[in-house]
Amino acid sequence: MLETVVEILKKSGVTAWELSAVQEEGWEFYFIRHALDQNRAKKLEEITLKVFQLSEDGASLGSASAQLPVTASRAEAEKLVADLAYRATLVKNKPYTLRGPAPAEAAEEPAIDVPAIARSFLETVRSLPETETEDVNSYELFVSAKTRRFLNSEGVDVTESWPESMLETVVNARDGEREIELYRATYAGGCDAQALREDLERSMRCGRDRLRAVPTPALGRADVLFGSKAAAELYRYFADRVNAQMVYRRMSDWELFKPIAEDIRGDKVTVKAVRELPNSSRNRRYDPEGAPIRDLTLLEESVPVHFVGNRMFSSYLGLEDSFMPTNISVSGGTHSEEELRSGAYLEAVEFSDFQVDALTGDIFGEIRLAYWHDGDTVTPVTGGSLSGSMNDFVKDMRLSAALRQYNSIRIPALTRLAGVTVTGAE
């Protein structure tokens, strides 16, 4: 089918085109406790076309895109290309050219065995040390082997395969009639059984603490220590702010080689795009537009040194050698765990949905479990919320030297922010 579409595109007379085909073979298992709710399998192919048309005066470039059903006939494909060719003339963007072929760094393609990955996940969850007071409520497992082929009118034709897994687990803890739950979504390439087991056992311990948690006190402004997955959102803020689209559309006012804030008192932040992280579901040689992915420092000591992004917005910024990052690695800071755990602070562990707005810098999160460290006492607390602005926090961040990875992002294991607004639940 793809060869037919390429032939149609070449004959269509359009200025340029892109064609992407992603094949997926997926297995899914859903459990209520450890009984099978249902099992599912799927075999899919998603074909996406994008057509570009330069205006007659060369002043603008338009594009139009669509998915082509894999069952489409030649006549349907021809009609779709003709429709896209017309629609692209209606769109007026600043002209740019598509990327030509460029070699990626050599890498060995992983062998993908979906049944073996699924088996490892299921064996791990089913062998957790459950007790009468802590157990697994339910879980859902998604394992896929994906293969993407990307072609464009400039001669790019690259194919690569990767595994993708996601395990959603709900853990219960109970004390008499009272029962609470904790939610985990684990994204990875394959199954790292040891890391998964440790994480789920940690969840069970958190569950015990949440049972005895008291309402979060109204702390006003407080230091908050992030040591869980929510911290990744703090660092995605930095990666988003150096994205070419954000910069070109003026949604980020960061400038190359200019510090992101004046008077930074705490640790400065260094962020790198990295092609590979252990067992990441986003390890790729090429981005979705066929650009080779490489290791590249984006922010060094809180100074933007490279903007990156898709071809269109990178071209507008004059970035010829750009790409869309997949994995992000943040360098460790200058502090030991002991230093970060000194004095009074709130250690935030579980949120309903912790968010950082890359445009405004606002942070939000309802607290499901935190620990209030007040001198010698440690009190588990729940309820209330955190809020504040990254525009302020970047001036006084304290980062641990030790690192921790959450699938496609590696960050300092502990991050301490000063002056976070803590709304109590009392």
Partner 1 sequence: MKAPFSSYLQALKPGLRQLIALLRRDYDYVSALATDSRGLTVSISQRARSVSSETMTTERGVVLRLWKEGQYREYALDDFDPTAPEKAAEEIRAALEKQQALLDALGVAPYDTPALPDEEQTLFVEKETRQLPEEADVKALVEKLTALSDRGMTLSEHMLDCALRAQSTHISKLFLTEKRDLAQSYVYSEGSLSAILSRDGNTQFSYDSVSGLCGPELFEQLEGKLERVVRVGEELLDAGRIEPGEYEVITSPEVTGLIAHEAFGHGVEMDMFVKNRALGAAYLGKRVGSDLVTMHEGALCAEDVTSFAFDDEGTLAGDVTEIKDGILQTGICDALSALRLGTAPTGNGKRENFAHKAYTRMTNTIFDSGDDTLEDMIASISHGYLLEGMESGMEDPKHWGIQCIIKLGREIKDGRLTGRIVAPIIMTGYVPELLGSISMRSSDREVFGAGGCGKGYKEWVKVADGGPYLKTKARLG
Q: How far apart are CA 350 and CA 204, in angstroms?
A: 12
For partner 1, the binding residue among 113, 135, 168, 396 (CB under 8 A) is 168
Q: Does 106 bind partner 1 (CB under 8 A)?
A: no
| Of 2, 6, 12, 28, the one binding partner 1 by CB under 8 A | 28
Q: Binding residue for partner 1 (CB under 8 A) from 55, 138, 279, 297? A: 138
Torsion over CA: 281, 285, 290, 292 (sign)? positive
Alpha helices in 91-229 (DSSP H): 114-126, 193-211
- Minimum Å gap between C-beta 97 and partner 1 is 17
Structure tokens at 256: 């190359």
Q: Which range of residues in 176-184, 231-239, 289-297, 319-327 is near partner 1 by CB under 8 A?
A: 176-184
Cβ partners under 8 Å of residue 33, min gap 6: 135, 136, 137, 138
Name the pairing type of β-strands 355-356 and 134-152: unpaired
Range 386-405, binding partner 1 (CB under 8 A): 386-387, 391
What is the C-alpha to C-alpha distance for residues 12 and 15, in angstroms, rounded to an integer?
9
Which residues, in sequence order, are CB contacts of 102 under 8 Å at separation 6+? 291, 292
**How far is 322 from 26, CA to CA, in rounded Å?**
32
What single-letter DSSP state applies at residue 268? Answer: -
Answer for which of 112, 384, 399, 413 binds partner 1 (CB under 8 A) is: 384
Region of 290 (left: φ > 0; alpha: ψ -120 to 50; beta: rest) is left
Please give the single-letter amino acid code of residue 106. A
Taking the least distance from each CB to partner 1, the nearer of 11 and 249 is 249
Task: Indicate the residue among 25 and 374 with the shorter CB distance to partner 1.
Answer: 25
159 binds partner 1 (CB under 8 A): no
Residue placing its CB nearer to partner 1 in the complex, 67 or 131? 67
Which window, 84-92, 287-295, 339-347, 394-402, contacts partner 1 (CB under 8 A)? 84-92
Closest residue by Cα to residue 132 from 98, 173, 100, 91: 173
**Is 149 a residue that touches partner 1 (CB under 8 A)?**
no
From candidates 10, 11, 74, 92, binder to partner 1 by CB under 8 A: 92
Binding-residue pattern over the window 35 to 74 for partner 1, x denoting contact by CB under 8 A:
xxxxxxxxxxx----------------xxxxxx-xxx---
Of positions 366, 374, 395, 401, contacts partner 1 by CB under 8 A: 366
The least distance separating partner 1 from the CB of residue 370, rounded to whole angstroms, comes to 13
Out of 157, 253, 320, 321, the only residue in the binding site for partner 1 (CB under 8 A) is: 253
Q: Quote the DSSP letter at residue 307.
A: -
Tokens 């588990």 correspond to 380
The verdict on 279 binding partner 1 (CB under 8 A) reads: no
Amino acid identity for residue 310 in this structure = N
User: Which among 126, 19, 129, 114 has a CA at the least distance from the CA of 68?
Assistant: 19
Closer CB to partner 1, 123 or 321, in the complex: 123
How many other C-beta atoms can be found within 10 angstroms of the C-beta atom of residue 87?
A: 16
Q: Does 254 bind partner 1 (CB under 8 A)?
A: no
| Strand ranges of the sheet holding 403-406, from the earlier edge strand across to the other edge | 303-304, 296-300, 271-274, 327-330, 409-412, 403-406
What 3-state class would DSSP assign to 81? helix
From the CB of 237, what's the least distance to partner 1, in Å? Answer: 13
Pick out residues in 221-250 that bind partner 1 (CB under 8 A): 245, 248-250
- By CB under 8 A, the residues from 296 to 355 that bind partner 1 are 312-313, 316, 352-353, 355
Residue from 2, 30, 97, 264 touching partner 1 (CB under 8 A): that is 30
> Which of 101, 220, 278, 343 forms a contact with partner 1 (CB under 8 A)?
220
Q: Which of 102, 185, 256, 344 binds partner 1 (CB under 8 A)?
A: 185
